[in-house]
Homo-oligomer: A and B are copies of this chain.
């Protein structure tokens, strides 16, 4: 089963854009935390490649895909160099990076789901791994940087929820064998649109019901 969402070269282009956006986001967190170049590279690499590595380990596809792709392994190196020398530009262009990040989120939650389903997982388990592919790297980034993960914060625009919408839709379609490539593309566009709308209009997910704000910790 072909787990690509887009035709060959387009898929690769989207992957590269997504990995680069993730890598830059990891590198920028490290710069803001005043880490050294090793820390910038580590955070960049974990963010960019961590989600896919976790997925591949969980489905038993070892060594993970990225370890066979020097071009993808090189992306965090590029992001590190860019962040070290041009971080003020990246800060200024942070909004643009969020767009690319949204593209990465959209592509990875859909093709992560397809990859997990091709490995024999059921619809919902595959969707869970698709979501993990998309959000796992960012979670590792925040844990190593000792920040409250963006993934869990009430004041961050929804991120896992659009990924879940796309992953579950594609997971169910593929399980029913009615999945066709255009549906994957539609799912990617839907995830991207929801995430961009969330960024534009500041959509947050609620917390526990009637919970008064906890004291800052």
Copies of this chain: 3
From B119, B149, B161, B208, give the contact of A83 (CB < 8 A).
B208
Cβ of A153: which chain B residues have Cβ within 8 Å of it?
35-36, 39
Closest chain B CB from A164 CB (angstroms) = 9
* A209 and B85 within 8 A (CB): yes
Partner of A59, one of B30, B31, B32, B62: B62
Task: Produce 1/0 per residue, A56-83, CB < 8 A to B.
Answer: 0111101110011010010000000001
Residue A124 at the chain B interface, CB threshold 8 Å: yes
* A121 near B35: Cβ-Cβ < 8 Å: no
Q: Which residues of B contact A62 (CB under 8 A)?
A: 57-60
Interface size on A, residues (CB 8 A): 62
Q: Which of the listed residues A40, A152, A160 has the most CB atoms from chain B within 10 Å of its own CB?
A: A152
Minimum Cβ distance to chain B for residue A118 (Å): 12
A209 / chain B contacts, CB cutoff of 8 Å? 84-85, 87
- The docked-state distance in angstroms from the alpha carbon of A121 to that of B62 is 11
- Inter-chain contact B207/A37, CB cutoff 8 Å: yes
A189 at the interface (CB under 8 A from B): no
A128 in contact (CB, < 8 A) = yes
A84 partner residues in chain B, CB cutoff 8 A:
207-209
Residues of B within 8 A of A43 (CB): 152
Q: Are A128 and B34 in contact (CB under 8 A)?
A: no
Interface segment, one of A7-15, A16-24, A139-147? A139-147
- Whether A207 contacts B31 by the Cβ 8 Å rule is yes
Residue ranges of A at the interface with B (Cβ–Cβ < 8 Å)? 30-40, 42-43, 53, 57-60, 62-64, 67-68, 70, 73, 83-85, 87, 119-122, 124-125, 128-129, 139, 143-144, 146, 148-149, 151-154, 156, 158-161, 204-209, 211, 213-214, 217
10 new A-B contacts at CB < 8 Å, known A34-B214, A39-B152, A42-B152: A31-B208, A36-B206, A38-B160, A40-B207, A42-B139, A57-B62, A58-B64, A60-B63, A73-B128, A139-B144
